[in-house]
A and B are shown apart, each in its own frame.
Chain A
Amino acid sequence: MLCIVAFFVVLVLSAVSAKYRKLLGRAWGCFSRRVTFRPCDSTFREEIKDSLLAPVALRSPRLVGPASVGIEVVAWVMMASLVISLYIVARSMLYLGVYGTCDKVDPVACSLSSTQGCGIGAAQPTFTQSLLRGDVVAAFGNEATDIADAVAAIPGAFRTWDATDYVIPAASYDGGFREGLPTALEVIDPGCQFCAKLVGAVEGSQFAEKHNITYIVYPIGKGLVPRFQHSPLVAQYLTAVRLLETERGVNAANPTDWFILKQMFTGVRPDGTGWQVWFNETASEPEAEAQLHAWLAEAGYEAAAVAEVAEFAASDEVDEAIVAGMRVVDDEIRTVTIPSLVAGGKLHKGAIEADALDRIG
Chain B
Amino acid sequence: MSPLFGRARQVAAPATSGRPGFEYLHDESVYLDSACQTLRPQPVIDALTDYYTTHNACGDRVRYAWGKQVDEQVEATRDAVLAALGLPARRYATSFTLNTTYGINLLLNQLPAGRFRRVVTTHTEHNSVFLSTMAYARRAGVERVLLDRTPDGTLVLTDADVADAVVVVSAMNNVDGATTDLADLITRTQRGGGIVIVDAAQAFGHAPGLLRGLTPDAVCFSAHKAYGASLGVVAATRELLLGLDVSFIGGGQVTAVHEGDYELYDEPHSRLEPGLQAWGEIIALGAALEWLGLGGRRPDEGREARERELAGALHEGLSALPNLRVLSRHGSPLVTVLPERVDGHRLATFLSKAGVMVRSGHFCAHHWLVEREGYAPLVRFSLGAHNTAADIEKALATMSPLMKGL
Q: Is the beta-carbon distance between B4 and A55 smaller than 8 angstroms?
A: no
Q: Is the beta-carbon distance between B345 and A46 smaller than 8 angstroms?
A: yes
Q: Is the beta-carbon distance between B5 and A55 smaller than 8 angstroms?
A: no
Known contacts: A46-B345, A48-B4. The answer to whether A54 contacts B350 by CB under 8 A is yes
Q: Name the residue in A48, A57, A60, A65 with the highest tally of chain B Cβ atoms < 10 Å from its Cβ.
A: A57
Q: Is the beta-carbon distance between A50 and B405 smaller than 8 angstroms?
A: no
Q: Is the beta-carbon distance between A51 and B3 smaller than 8 angstroms?
A: yes
A48-B404 Cα distance, complex, nearest whole Å: 24
Q: Which residue of A lies closest to B4 (CB)?
A: A51
Tell me which residues from 1 to 33 in chain B have a Cβ below 8 Å from any Cβ of chain A. Answer: 3-6
Q: Is the beta-carbon distance between B353 and A57 smaller than 8 angstroms?
A: yes
Minimum CB–CB distance from B157 to chain A (whole Å) comes to 38
Q: Is the beta-carbon distance between A47 and B4 smaller than 8 angstroms?
A: yes
Q: Which residue of B lies closest to A23 (CB)?
A: B4
Q: Which of A47, A60, A61 contacts B349 (CB under 8 A)?
A: A47
Minimum CB–CB distance from A159 to chain B (whole Å) comes to 54
Minimum CB–CB distance from B91 to chain A (whole Å) comes to 47
B153 contacts the other chain (Cβ, under 8 Å)? no
B343 contacts the other chain (Cβ, under 8 Å)? yes
Q: Contact string, A101-143, partner B, CB cutoff 8 A, digits 1/0? A: 0000000000000000000000000000000000000000000
* Complex contacts, B5 vs chain A, CB 8 Å: 48, 51-52
A53 contacts the other chain (Cβ, under 8 Å)? yes
Q: Is the beta-carbon distance between B405 and A54 smaller than 8 angstroms?
A: no
Q: Is the beta-carbon distance between A61 and B406 smaller than 8 angstroms?
A: yes
Q: Which of A49, A53, A54, A61 contacts B401 (CB under 8 A)?
A: A61
Q: Which residue of A lies closest to B404 (CB)?
A: A61
* Complex contacts, B6 vs chain A, CB 8 Å: 51
B interface SS class: helix
Q: Is the beta-carbon distance between B349 and A51 smaller than 8 angstroms?
A: yes
Q: Contact string, B68-87, partner A, CB cutoff 8 A, digits 1/0? A: 00000000000000000000
Minimum CB–CB distance from A55 to chain B (whole Å) comes to 6
* Complex contacts, A57 vs chain B, CB 8 Å: 350, 353, 402, 405-406
A64 contacts the other chain (Cβ, under 8 Å)? yes
A18 contacts the other chain (Cβ, under 8 Å)? no
Known: A48-B4, A58-B398. 4 other contacts (CB 8 A): A47-B4, A53-B349, A55-B353, A60-B405
Seen from chain B, the residues whose Cβ lies within 8 Å of a Cβ on chain A are: 3-6, 342-343, 345-346, 349-350, 352-354, 398, 401-402, 404-406
A48-B405 Cα distance, complex, nearest whole Å: 21
Q: Is the beta-carbon distance between A61 and B4 smaller than 8 angstroms?
A: no
Minimum CB–CB distance from B302 to chain A (whole Å) comes to 35
Q: Which residue of A lies closest to B343 (CB)?
A: A46
Q: Which residue of A lies closest to B345 (CB)?
A: A46
Minimum CB–CB distance from A173 to chain B (whole Å) comes to 70
A50-B347 Cα distance, complex, nearest whole Å: 8
A62 contacts the other chain (Cβ, under 8 Å)? yes
Known contacts: A47-B4, A50-B345, A52-B5. The answer to whether A62 contacts B405 by CB under 8 A is yes
Q: Is the beta-carbon distance between A53 and B404 smaller than 8 angstroms?
A: no
Q: Which of A58, A62, A65 contacts B350 (CB under 8 A)?
A: A58
Q: Which residue of A lies closest to B342 (CB)?
A: A64
Minimum CB–CB distance from A318 to chain B (whole Å) comes to 68
* Complex contacts, B402 vs chain A, CB 8 Å: 57-58, 61
A49-B402 Cα distance, complex, nearest whole Å: 17
Minimum CB–CB distance from A185 to chain B (whole Å) comes to 61
User: Closest 10 A-B residue pairs measured CB to CB?
Assistant: A61-B405, A54-B353, A50-B349, A57-B350, A51-B4, A62-B405, A50-B346, A61-B406, A54-B350, A61-B402
Q: Name the residue in A50, A53, A64 with the highest tally of chain B Cβ atoms < 10 Å from its Cβ.
A: A50
Minimum CB–CB distance from B397 to chain A (whole Å) comes to 11
* Complex contacts, B343 vs chain A, CB 8 Å: 46
17 A-B contacts (beta carbon < 8 Å): A43-B345, A46-B345, A47-B349, A48-B4, A49-B346, A50-B345, A50-B350, A51-B3, A52-B5, A53-B346, A53-B350, A57-B402, A57-B405, A58-B350, A61-B406, A64-B342, A64-B405
Q: Which residue of A lies closest to B400 (CB)?
A: A61
A52-B405 Cα distance, complex, nearest whole Å: 17
Q: Name the residue in A46, A51, A60 with the highest tally of chain B Cβ atoms < 10 Å from its Cβ.
A: A51
Q: Which of B342, B353, B404 contacts A58 (CB under 8 A)?
A: B353
Q: Contact string, A58-94, partner B, CB cutoff 8 A, digits 1/0? A: 1011101100000000000000000000000000000
A55-B402 Cα distance, complex, nearest whole Å: 12
Q: Which residue of B lies closest to A43 (CB)?
A: B345
* Complex contacts, A46 vs chain B, CB 8 Å: 343, 345-346
Q: Is the beta-carbon distance between B406 and A64 smaller than 8 angstroms?
A: yes
Minimum CB–CB distance from B9 to chain A (whole Å) comes to 12
Q: Which residue of A lies closest to B361 (CB)?
A: A43
Q: Is the beta-carbon distance between A58 and B345 smaller than 8 angstroms?
A: no
Q: Which residue of A lies closest to B346 (CB)?
A: A50
Minimum CB–CB distance from A9 to chain B (whole Å) comes to 10
* Complex contacts, B3 vs chain A, CB 8 Å: 51
* Complex contacts, B353 vs chain A, CB 8 Å: 54-55, 57-58
Minimum CB–CB distance from A293 to chain B (whole Å) comes to 73
* Complex contacts, B406 vs chain A, CB 8 Å: 57, 61-62, 64-65
A61-B349 Cα distance, complex, nearest whole Å: 13
